[in-house]
C-alpha cells in the first residue's frame, strides 16, 4: 500500500486525475470504477478539465459503478446511476452506452448482483477503482464486519451511513435502507485501487485502514492485501497517521516514472 499525503483536496484530485489520464493514454478503453459522494468531485472536475483541454482523449473510456441504492425509481436524481451520469459521464463527453452499473430496481436483487459481478468480469475487469472511505471505515457500502471475500450483494446501511448521506436528500427518512454494492472481494480484483480521503473527520478511519490490523471491523483495511493500492489523503485526514513522516519521505523520493 502506498500512502500519498497532499496539501488539500484539490491537489489530491489533480494527482489522481493525472493518474487516470496516464492510464487512458496507455489503454484508451480502460474500465474506470467510480465512487460517488463529495470527496471524489475534485478528481472528476480535474479529469474533465484535461479532456476539454485536449490533454487526454477519453472517448473510449468505460465507466462502472461501485454501488447503487435499492428501490429508488429510475431517473431519481440521487440514484447513483443519475449521479454518475451527471458528475462523470456527461462532463467527460461520454455516451451513456459507456456506462455500466447494477440494477437497483430489479425485482430479483440477488440476481442483479450476480449479473453485475459477471458483467464486470466479461468487460475484462476494472482497471482503476476509485474509493472513498466512510467514517466507520467502510468502502463501497461494505459496512463493518462485511466479509473480506464478499462479492457484489445487497447490504443494509447503518444509521451512521444513512445520516452521513442524508445531506443529499430532503430528510433522513428519504435515504434508502438497502444498497447493492461491489463486495470487498470484487473491489480487490481491480488492477489498481485508489482511495481518496479528505478532512479531519476521516482521520481515524484512514489510520485504521493504513496502520491498523486487517480486520472485517474496518473493511478498508483489506486494501493492505491489494497488490497495487494507493491511499491519497490531505493533511487533515493524515493527522492520525503514526508514520506520516515516513509516507512523506518515501513519496518524495519516488521516481517520477513510477507514476501513482
Positions annotated as catalytic residues are 67, 136, 138, 143
> What is residue 157's DSSP assignment?
P
Q: What does residue 140 show for φ and ψ, rounded to 5 degrees?
A: 60, -135
> What are 145's three cell numbers?
464486519
Q: In 118-215, which ranges are E strands?
A: 128-131, 153-156, 178-181, 192-197
Rounded CA gap, 89 and 62, in Å?
9
Instruction: Report the alpha-carbon angle 133-62-60, nearest 5.
Output: 140
Cβ distance 185 to 148 under 8 Å? yes
Element spanning 68, H or E: strand 67-69
Cβ distance 132 to 196 under 8 Å? yes
| Residue matched to cell numbers 461501485 | 66
Rounded CA gap, 138 and 158, in Å?
11
Handedness of CA 122, 31, 36, 132 (dihedral sign): positive
Handedness of CA 77, 79, 82, 83 (dihedral sign): positive
Residue 168 zone, left/alpha/beta (φ > 0; ψ -120 to 50; rest): alpha
Amino acid at each position: 500500500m502506498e500512502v500519498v499525503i497532499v496539501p488539500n483536496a484539490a491537489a489530491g484530485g489533480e494527482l489522481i486525475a493525472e493518474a487516470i489520464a496516464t492510464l487512458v493514454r496507455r489503454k484508451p478503453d480502460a474500465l474506470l470504477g467510480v465512487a460517488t459522494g463529495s470527496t471524489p468531485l475534485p478528481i472528476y472536475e480535474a479529469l474533465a478539465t484535461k479532456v476539454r483541454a485536449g490533454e487526454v482523449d477519453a472517448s473510449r473510456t468505460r465507466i462502472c459503478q461501485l454501488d447503487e441504492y435499492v428501490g429508488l425509481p429510475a431517473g431519481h436524481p440521487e440514484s447513483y446511476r443519475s449521479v454518475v451520469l451527471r458528475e462523470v459521464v456527461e462532463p467527460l463527453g461520454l455516451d451513456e452506452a459507456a456506462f455500466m452499473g447494477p440494477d437497483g430496481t430489479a425485482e430479483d436483487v440477488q440476481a442483479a448482483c450476480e449479473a453485475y459481478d459477471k458483467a464486470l468480469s466479461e468487460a475484462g475487469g476494472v482497471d482503476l477503482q476509485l474509493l472513498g472511505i466512510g467514517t466507520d471505515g467502510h468502502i463501497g457500502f461494505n459496512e463493518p464486519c462485511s466479509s473480506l471475500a464478499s462479492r457484489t450483494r445487497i447490504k443494509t446501511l447503518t444509521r451512521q451511513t444513512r445520516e452521513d448521506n442524508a445531506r443529499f436528500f430532503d430528510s433522513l427518512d428519504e435515504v434508502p435502507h438497502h444498497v447493492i454494492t461491489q463486495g470487498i472481494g470484487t473491489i480487490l480484483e481491480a488492477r489498481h485501487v485508489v482511495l481518496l480521503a479528505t478532512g479531519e473527520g476521516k482521520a481515524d478511519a484512514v489510520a485504521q485502514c493504513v496502520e491498523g490490523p486487517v480486520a472485517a471491523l474496518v473493511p478498508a483495511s483489506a486494501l493492505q492485501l491489494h497488490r497495487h493500492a494507493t491511499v491519497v489523503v490531505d493533511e487533515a485526514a493524515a493527522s492520525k497517521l503514526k508514520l506520516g513522516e515516513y509516507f512523506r519521505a518515501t513519496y518524495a523520493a519516488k521516481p517520477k516514472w513510477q507514476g501513482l
